[in-house]
């Protein structure tokens, strides 16, 4: 498996897997912790879904996305940090649009904005970077919402 480059501005990554674990014998406290460990170890994404399991148990479906090469590392964390003895996975393909980053000046400082550009060169997506906005909101004691709105009005 390898990364193919379509003519334009889109990457097709066929090298990804989704790993899944069902958990009904672990607390939320531990789950908050394990998510951080998996991200640190290079997971592309980690997320939880509430599920209904047998014997009236509210459980959690842990899903994570990573490249094939990270699988052993992820498995290792899942076994050590959760209560599972079985992990399932399947391959998937990811289409990723080319992204570029621009800087936007606000009254309180510069904020990076991530943009998606389509095959005709048009911007179809503009997302102010959360960590930039958060830092400004906290440092200046203003609502986060106001920071985002300031960026949007300058795009």
66 to 85, contacts with a copy of itself by CB under 8 A? 75, 79-83, 85
Which residue, 139 or 152, is less far from a copy of itself as judged by CB? 152
Question: Which one of 41, 67, 112, 118 is in contact with a copy of itself (CB under 8 A)?
Answer: 118
* 91 lies in the site for a copy of itself, by CB under 8 A: yes
Of 24-63, binders to a copy of itself (CB under 8 A) are 24-36, 39, 45-61
Of 130-149, binders to a copy of itself (CB under 8 A) are 130, 134, 137, 143-145, 148-149
Surface-to-core class of residue 103, CB atoms within 10 Å of its CB (0-12 exposed, 13-18 middle, 19+ buried): exposed
Residue 98 CB contacts under 8 Å (≥ 6 apart), including other chains: 8, 9, 10, 11, 116, 117
Surface-to-core class of residue 9, CB atoms within 10 Å of its CB (0-12 exposed, 13-18 middle, 19+ buried): middle
């Amino acid at each position: 498996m390898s990364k193919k480059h379509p003519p334009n501005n889109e990457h097709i990554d066929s090298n990804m897997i989704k790993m899944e674990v069902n958990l009904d014998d672990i607390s939320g406290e531990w789950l908050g912790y394990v998510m951080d460990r998996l991200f640190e170890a290079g997971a592309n994404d980690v997320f939880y879904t509430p599920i209904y399991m047998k014997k009236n148990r509210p459980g959690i479906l842990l899903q994570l996305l990573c490249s094939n090469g990270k699988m052993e590392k992820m498995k290792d964390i899942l076994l050590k940090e959760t209560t599972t003895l079985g992990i399932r996975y399947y391959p998937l393909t990811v289409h990723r649009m080319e992204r570029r980053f621009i800087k936007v000046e606000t009254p309180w400082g510069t904020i990076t904005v991530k943009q998606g550009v389509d095959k005709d060169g048009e911007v179809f997506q503009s997302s102010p970077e959360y960590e930039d906005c958060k830092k400004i909101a906290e440092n200046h004691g203003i609502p986060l919402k106001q920071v985002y709105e300031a960026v949007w009005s300058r795009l």
